[in-house]
């Protein structure tokens, strides 16, 4: 009776969905490091990627980010720092710009 056994699991899904931390702007990312350009690690990575003359970058920057997507995506799945970022156009998500913190439920 596999079908009957799966019904409790289906009923549990909306409860999990309600507990998610999601982004209102940008996409949910899980980053090794998060900081602004004043952070020396962030500054060094930005300089490596964008060159010595950095454009004006405001707000938080994520380094080595992995997108958290799909069913059940939640900031609580991130063992590092979860953020919402608007600019993730860089190869391999090495940096993400326009990030803002996400609360983990």
Ligand X SMILES: *[C@@H]1O[C@H](CO)[C@@H](O)[C@H](O)[C@H]1NC(C)=O
Residues in the site for ligand X, rule: CB under 6 A? Answer: 36-38, 55, 87, 89, 97
Tell me how far, at minimum, the Cβ of 56 lies from ligand X, in Å.
9
Q: How far is the CB of 63 from ligand X (least distance, A)?
A: 14
Q: Which is nearer to ligand X, 12 or 54 (CB)?
A: 54
**Which residue lies nearer to ligand X by CB, 40 or 103?**
40
Task: State how far the Cα of 10 lies from the Cα of 83, in Å rounded to an integer.
Answer: 29
Min. distance of Cβ 90 from ligand X in angstroms? Answer: 7
With CA atoms as reference, report the closest residue to 29 among 90, 70, 88: 88
Cβ proximity to ligand X: between 37 and 73 the closer is 37
Of 46 and 75, the one with the shorter C-beta distance to ligand X is 46
Q: Which residues pair with 82 in a beta bridge?
A: 30
Minimum distance of ligand X from residue 22's CB (angstroms): 20
Within 10 A of 90 (CB to CB), how many other CB atoms are there?
13
Q: Three-state DSSP class for 32?
A: strand
Alpha-carbon distance of 96 to 103, in angstroms, equals 18
């Amino acid at each position: 009776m596999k079908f009957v056994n799966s019904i409790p699991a289906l009923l549990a899904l909306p409860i999990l969905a309600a507990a998610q931390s999601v982004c209102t702007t940008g996409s949910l990312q899980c980053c090794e490091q998060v900081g602004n350009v004043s952070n020396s690690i962030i500054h060094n990575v930005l300089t490596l990627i964008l060159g010595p003359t950095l454009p004006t970058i405001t707000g938080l920057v994520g380094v080595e980010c992995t997108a958290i997507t799909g069913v059940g995506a939640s900031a609580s799945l991130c063992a590092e720092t979860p953020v919402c970022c608007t600019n993730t156009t860089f190869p391999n998500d090495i940096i993400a710009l326009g990030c803002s913190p996400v609360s983990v439920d």
